[in-house]
Structure 1
Amino acid sequence: MTEHARVAVELVRDSSQFKWYVIPLLLVVVYIYATEVERRNWNVLFAGIALWGMDLFNEIWNSLVFHGTGRAPVWGTTGPTAYQLLIGLNIEIGFMFAIMGVAAAKMLPPKETRIFGLPNRPILIAINSAAAVGVEVLLNRAGVLSWEWSWWQASFPFLIWLIGYVPFFTACFYVHDLPTVRRKAIAVGVILGIDAVALIVFGALGWL
């Protein structure tokens, strides 16, 4: 086990790490989603949940990588936190992704709008994912986000971009553009359902 992984493991679900600022952060997230419900802006509401659900899925398989290898997760969070949920996910990151999807969806132009003559959705997926990778590089250099595998490094960010973020924004925009609220709810339900089953099964096995 690497040193960074050991530090992260010691933080996982340690209630002594709790900080009171998590409460106002939670209320900020609740307020943001409540505003979209009040406006009946279902496109943005479900898009935000979809991105958050995709991040949770990534965090689950990241934890399984650590369990399977015994060496290190693909990424780990080792900085101060109010609560460490999984080896690569703290409560602050969870709130961040809950807001990120809403923000990305609210900035979407109409689907028919083109950027440099190209459909805007793929361009915006690529740009948003690249910006998110840039933030991760800064967090890695600050020493609060560890990368222990040679194929997941700032020197080769393609996989971080492709696996770490492209699916997030793809799901976010896909759900946003679905034609009916029912289809949006089903899509989000599938994502969250898979997450829930994985958390229950792998959590019961002690793999998370």
Structure 2
Amino acid sequence: MTDHARAAAALLRDSGQFKWYVIPLLLVVIYVYATEVERRNWNVFFAGLALWGMDWFNEIWNSLVFHATGRAPVWGTSGPTAYQILIGLNIEICFMFAIMGVAAAKMLPPKETRILGLPNRPVLIAVNSAAAVCVEVLLNKAGVLTWDWSWWHAGVPYLIWLLGYVPFFIACFWVYDLPSVRSKALAVGAILGIDALGLIVFGALGWL
């Protein structure tokens, strides 16, 4: 096991790490979604949940990589946190991704708008994912986000871009563009349902 993984594992679900700032951060997330509910802006509401759900999916398989290899997760968070939920997910990251999808969806132009002559959705998926990778590189350099595998690091950012973020924004924009509230709710329910099933099953097995 790498030193980074050992440090992250030592923090896993340790309630002694709790910090009071979690409460106002939670209220910020609730306020963000409550605002969209108040406005009946279901496109943004469900798009935000879709991206958040995709992050949970990634965090589950990342934890399974750690369990299977016994060496390290693909990414880990071993820095200070108010609560370490999974090996690569702390409460601060969880809240951040809950808001990220809302922010990305609110900036979407109409579907027919083109960017440099190209359909805007693929362009924005690529650009938003690249921006997120840049932030990850900075977090890695700060020592709070760790990478211990030779195929997942700043010098080879392609997998971080392709697996780490492109699916997030694909799901976010796809749900945003679905034609009805019912279809959006079903899509998000499927994503979160798979996440919940994974957390229950793999958690019960002690693999997370």
Post-superposition shift, 1:83? 0.3
SS of match in other structure, 2:85: strand
| Separation in structure 2 between the aligned mates of residue 89 and residue 57 of structure 1, nearest angstrom | 11
Q: Which residue of 1 aligns with 2:16?
A: 16
1:134 matched to 2:134? The reply is yes
- Equivalence map 1:35-184=2 (5 Å): 35-184=35-184
Post-superposition shift, 1:89? 0.1
Percent of residue pairs bearing the same amino acid type: 83
- Give the letter aligned to residue 178 of structure 1: L
Alpha-carbon displacement from aligned partner over 1:134-155 (angstroms, at most 9, x marks no partner) = 0000000000110000000100
Alpha-carbon displacement from aligned partner over 1:51-96 (angstroms, at most 9, x marks no partner) = 0000000000000000000000000001100000000000000000
| Separation in structure 1 between the aligned mates of residue 140 and residue 83 of structure 2, nearest angstrom | 19
Alpha-carbon displacement from aligned partner over 1:185-207 (angstroms, at most 9, x marks no partner) = 00000000000000000000000
| Separation in structure 2 between the aligned mates of residue 69 and residue 78 of structure 1, nearest angstrom | 18
| Separation in structure 2 between the aligned mates of residue 66 and residue 78 of structure 1, nearest angstrom | 14
Q: Which residue of 2 aligns with 1:203?
A: 203
- Give the letter aligned to residue 162 of structure 2: L
Structure 2 unaligned residues grouped into runs of 5+ = none
| Separation in structure 2 between the aligned mates of residue 172 and residue 82 of structure 1, nearest angstrom | 27
- CA RMSD, aligned part only? 0.2
| Separation in structure 2 between the aligned mates of residue 107 and residue 82 of structure 1, nearest angstrom | 30
Q: What TM-score does the superposition give when structure 1 sets the normalisation length? A: 1.00
Post-superposition shift, 1:11? 0.4
| Separation in structure 2 between the aligned mates of residue 16 and residue 78 of structure 1, nearest angstrom | 15
- Equivalent pairs counted in the alignment come to 208
Post-superposition shift, 1:14? 0.3
| Separation in structure 2 between the aligned mates of residue 18 and residue 187 of structure 1, nearest angstrom | 33
SS of match in other structure, 1:165: helix
- Give the letter aligned to residue 20 of structure 2: W
SS of match in other structure, 1:79: coil
| Separation in structure 2 between the aligned mates of residue 25 and residue 197 of structure 1, nearest angstrom | 26
| Separation in structure 1 between the aligned mates of residue 177 and residue 49 of structure 2, nearest angstrom | 14
In the TM superposition, structure 1's runs of 4+ consecutive aligned residues that sit over 3 Å from their partners are none
- Give the letter aligned to residue 63 of structure 2: S
| Separation in structure 1 between the aligned mates of residue 134 and residue 78 of structure 2, nearest angstrom | 19
SS of match in other structure, 1:85: strand
- Give the letter aligned to residue 165 of structure 2: Y
